[in-house]
Amino acid sequence: MFPSVLVVLSLIFCACGENPAIQVTLTNKGLQYGRHAAAGWIQEKLEHLTLPDISGEIRFGLLFHVIYTLRSVTIRKCDFPEPSVEFYQGISGLKTSITGLNVALTGDWEAHWGFMHGGGSFDMALFGVDMVSVVQLGRDAGGHLSITSVNCNAQIGDIDIRFYGNRSWLLRLVEDHFKNHIRGQLEVKICPAVDEVIANLESHLKDMKVNFQVNQDLTLDLPLIGLPVVNASSLRLGLKGEFYSIKSPKEPPFVALPFAVPEQPSYMLSVGLSDFTVNSASSSYFSADLLQAFINDSMIPPGSSVRLNTTSLGPFIPQLPEKFPDLLMALQIYARNIPMFSFHCGAVMLSSSGVIKAFAIQPNDTLTPLFNLYVDSDFSGKVRITDGRLKGSVAMDNFTLSLAATEIGPFKTDSLEDMVRTLIDKAVLQQLNEKLATGFALPRTMHAQLVKPVLTVEEGFVAFASDAELLENDTIFS
């Protein structure tokens, strides 16, 4: 009894264990844009495509028996109507239909009737070719999107064929039999060809990377963590979206919470990014001991009236110039906890807590510890996309310094706190805000660019929606 309860419990926990931190939605508008781009590309590829040889045997009556081969069968012209593609909710897939495709083909024929032998060229036209293909989308064990053909149906409405060359009159005699035979032969070849294209696509998807090295410290894991969800208006993919430290990969002490990105049917695609993703990067930096800095006087801007030495800091900490007259100082700053980001309607918040260790630098370069301060700060920021650039602003909402340990006796931190707050405002935030006001160009690839992107900060996630424009169709699909 008890073990089976455990199994049931573990199944429940597995089922609701992991939430995607990144959600990608392709809307019907995006699907239709992709279909249109793909149709143009297919039309181009189909023209001048050479098909494999077709050979067969036709018997009619008791006496007549033709063995034929069609070679160098080339598409001369193809009138490719725009296919229709729609989300197929029932099986979480896509349904593609092509109706009324017309193709003109040309090639060489060769045939035997008993001892007689003939050959020459031919022209063939296929009219009203209809095809319906249904594919199912899924997820493989490695977290890749997978695609499988579940249904395919193809029909050729009518066929016309003209033979030229030696003894072509014989084939013309039996033209109707020949047409039916070839039509059957071609019809059964269409779906296997479509399935081959789908299998090819599937092998590309299988080879796609789901883990990316971001810089020398971080990797980003982006496998699918659930099945793709398809309904009549969209396709939704839930990705893990977690950063790991390369040096010391481990899980952060928090989990991704579920969130729902509202559907934006007027955009081709949208992406929801949970604060978990940003915080997993923060946690990785913290656990790899990368959130620390060493500061000395040479790093203080030359124009600053306050220097990092015991004389200059005397007005704030009277003991300093008394006990360590006119010595340069150094600060070691490190995070006490993981700096945490949180997304709220319209604003990004950052809460961080750190330690400042202060040292006096003796003339013989020995560092003499002076005191430790706890520094706690809250920042809030706004982000938006305007003129194709990511812009924003940051403000400091709260900043406190408190004495955590001291080798030089107690002192008040109020005036020091005011001074550092002003310093951060002037030296750090002002410059940062100037950069953020100019903004950063959004990424653009050789193949595609974003059109009219928008970004909003919601409760627990950032929602990004955009249209896309393909720049070089040819390189994308090949």
Residues that bind ligand NAG in the complex, under the rule CB under 6 A: 119-120, 165-166, 231-234, 263, 294, 296-298, 307, 309, 311-312, 326, 328, 362, 364, 366, 376, 398, 400
By the 8 A CB rule, do 160 and 124 touch? yes
CB of 169 to ligand NAG, least distance (A): 13
Q: Kindly state the tokens that stand for 277.
A: 């993703």
By the 8 A CB rule, do 454 and 442 touch? no
**Cβ-based nearer residue to ligand NAG, 131 or 261:** 261
Element (H, E) at 168: helix 168-173
**Cβ-based nearer residue to ligand NAG, 89 or 430:** 89
By the 8 A CB rule, do 66 and 167 touch? no
**Cβ-based nearer residue to ligand NAG, 234 or 277:** 234
CB of 388 to ligand NAG, least distance (A): 28
Q: Regarding beta strands 328-335 and 242-245, do their DSSP bridges make them parallel or antiparallel, or are they unpaired? A: unpaired
Specify burial of residue 465 (Cβ count, 10 A radius: 0-12, 13-18, 19+). buried
Burial 202-234 (b: 16+ CB within 10 A, else e): beeeeeeeeeeeeeebbbbbbbbbbebebeeeb
CB of 452 to ligand NAG, least distance (A): 21
CB of 122 to ligand NAG, least distance (A): 12
Element (H, E) at 430: helix 430-438
**Cβ-based nearer residue to ligand NAG, 44 or 108:** 108
Residue 3: which residues within 8 A CB-CB, separation 6 or more?
Answer: none
Beta strands in 115-247 (DSSP E): 116-139, 145-166, 211-213, 218-221, 229-231, 234-239, 242-245
By the 8 A CB rule, do 308 and 331 touch? yes
Task: From 325, 461, 442, 443, select the one nearest 388 (Cα to Cα).
Answer: 442
**Cβ-based nearer residue to ligand NAG, 59 or 426:** 426
**Cβ-based nearer residue to ligand NAG, 245 or 380:** 380
CB of 96 to ligand NAG, least distance (A): 19
CB of 318 to ligand NAG, least distance (A): 15
Element (H, E) at 381: strand 367-386
Q: How far is residue 361's CA from residue 314's CA, in Å, rounded to a whole number?
A: 16
DSSP secondary structure string, 387-415? Answer: TTEEEEEEEEEEEEEEEEEESS-----HH
CB of 314 to ligand NAG, least distance (A): 9
**Cβ-based nearer residue to ligand NAG, 149 or 310:** 310
Half-sphere exposure of residue 24: CA atoms within 13 angstroms, side-chain side:
14
Task: From 316, 324, 418, 405, select the one nearest 357 (Cα to Cα).
Answer: 405
CB of 13 to ligand NAG, least distance (A): 24
Q: Kindly state the tokens that stand for 477.
A: 């699909």
Q: How far is residue 251's CA from residue 245's CA, in Å, rounded to a whole number?
A: 10
CB of 379 to ligand NAG, least distance (A): 12
**Cβ-based nearer residue to ligand NAG, 151 or 353:** 353
Q: Kindly state the tokens that stand for 220.
A: 């980003």
Phi then psi dihedrals of residue 30, to 5 deg: -65, -40
CB of 410 to ligand NAG, least distance (A): 19
Q: Kindly state the tokens that stand for 211.
A: 């883990």
**Cβ-based nearer residue to ligand NAG, 400 or 473:** 400
**Cβ-based nearer residue to ligand NAG, 19 or 309:** 309
**Cβ-based nearer residue to ligand NAG, 74 or 473:** 74
Q: How far is residue 230's CA from residue 25's CA, in Å, rounded to a whole number?
A: 10
CB of 400 to ligand NAG, least distance (A): 5
**Cβ-based nearer residue to ligand NAG, 43 or 121:** 121
CB of 165 to ligand NAG, least distance (A): 4
